[in-house]
Amino acid sequence: MDRRTFLTSTALGAGLAATLPGLADAAPATRPPIFTRARAVRAATLDQLRQEIAAAQPGSTVVLANGTYAVPSGRPIAISGKNGNSSASIVIQAESVGGVTLTGSQGFTFANSSWVTVSGFRFRQSTMIDLTTSCNHLRLSRNDFQLADLSGVNWLMVRAEYSKVDRNHFHGKSTLGVFMCVEGPGSSGMSRGVHILRNYFSDHSFTGSNGGEPIRLGLSGRSLSDAGAIVEQNLFERANGDPEAISVKSCSNTIRDNTVRDSLGGIVLRHGSRSRVEGNFVLSGSNGIRIYGNDHLVVNNYVEKVSGTGITLGSGSVRDDKPSDSPESRKGNDAPDRVTIALNTVLSCGTAIAGETMRTLPPLGCTISDNLLVGDSGRQLVNMPYQQGIAWSGNLLWGAAANGNLPASGFTRRDPLLAIGADGVRRLTSGSPAINAASKTYSTVTRDVDGNPRSGKADVGADEYSTTAPTNRPLTPTDVGPKSA
């Protein structure tokens, strides 16, 4: 057979039907059969791979045979001027997931391309992978990232709009550098609509004080730009390269249903405004959720056994960042305004909810309501130095820890009657005083941390009492990464 014979007539083609990125995300009833794609071809060498990529058309699949390939310096695998479309992407993938290892200084490069998927590779190169601004709708799926452990090298830069990074494993870095950055055009823009889904970020052990984040979503100079990114269902374990596991430095992002476990890093809204942090689990680490900037909603999060503070409402060195501000000023901290912290559960942390005193500008117009806070002996639940800018209501406190300095009108103290589930999460039981006890209504909050619907008057804390099995729960390595569903 000629190399362009349909692979559906071979054993390799049968395997592709089960592994093609994009098809796995479709419902079984609507998933297109493999033979509806254009000609699928196999390459056995890097030169053949380059030739087949150059010839690829919308719907094409190019498969590189399993093996280890040293990509020559100055001759990367170029994806340039290749454009699929929303119903017929171009797919470039390993023969089997994890079956192809690429070494050398560079692997794939991207320019002037769209609707292209790269899947199943083990990246072991020594320079950053860059999804450039000349591209859009790129997808990196089911890859393994462990680039050379060189100081200052960031591993993946996403600047192509509406790109998707899903089911990859980023792991094993001990030096300065970020696993994944999202930026954009020029010095102030952000790529829009990036989707970061079901990735596994593990084992970043850089010991410096800053610069080892798993995800950095923007930069100080880009913080006023809307990104509209969705970061969901990712797992972070032993993410110890920075106090920020997810560092948000842009506007209008959604951070939901992620799990951060056994890590120095937490979820930090470092710059920007109008982001939503919802349904995340932060477990047994050092930092919880920390907030700067304006008009954020922090809701339905479950934070347990964090040695520091569960949720920190920051202070500011500036009231509001502006486009005219100096670069140095933009690196400061924007004081939180109109932030809502509601319906969260914070258990057995150093402090449940706290503020900061190292900067002079306090939060203004913020709401802390209907949270469930439980603490252990020798600790306090709330330590908020600036009270004038915060409205408290409906919070439920319990445990041997002292209440702290929230106003008496903002809480009640009663046993919430929690029980530990098979997944280790402590949830409400029948008869809990948290049930239907919320002091406010939340029209945009339609589900709880478990993924169960919120109906009627909300229950206090992240869990809405239900006998229905959770659809959202703390993630494990089998739920994410290259081999996950």
pLDDT at 19 over 60: no
**Per-residue pLDDT for 8 more than 60?**
no
Which carries the bigger pLDDT value, residue 7 or residue 321? 321
CA distances to 52, 320, 451 from 77, in Å: 11, 44, 42
Phi-psi region of 154 (alpha: psi -120 to 50; beta: other; left: phi over 0): beta
27-51 pLDDT, tens digit each: 333 333 333 345 689 999 999 999 9
* Residues ≥6 apart with Cβ < 8 Å to 51: 43
pLDDT for residue 38? 52
pLDDT tens-digit map of 198-212: 999 999 999 998 999
Q: Which two tokens stand for residue 138?
A: 């790129």
pLDDT of 3 above 90: no
Which of the pair, 27 or 183, is modelled with greater confidence? 183
Confidence of residue 324 (pLDDT cuts 50, 70, 90): confident
The answer on pLDDT for 399 being more than 80 is yes
pLDDT at position 317: 86
Cα atoms found within 13 Å of the Cα of residue 349, Cβ hemisphere only: 28
Name the average pLDDT for the chain. 92
Mean pLDDT of 449-473: 96
Model confidence at 244: pLDDT above 90: yes
| 3-state DSSP assignment of residue 238 | strand
Report pLDDT digits (tens) over 358-369: 999 999 999 999
Domains of the chain: 128-479 (2.160.20)
Q: To 5 degrees, how large is the angle CA 480–CA 256–CA 390? A: 150
Report which DSSP code applies to 65. P
Q: What is the pTM of this model?
A: 0.92
The pLDDT tens digits for 400-452 are: 999 999 999 999 999 999 999 999 999 999 999 999 999 999 999 999 999 99
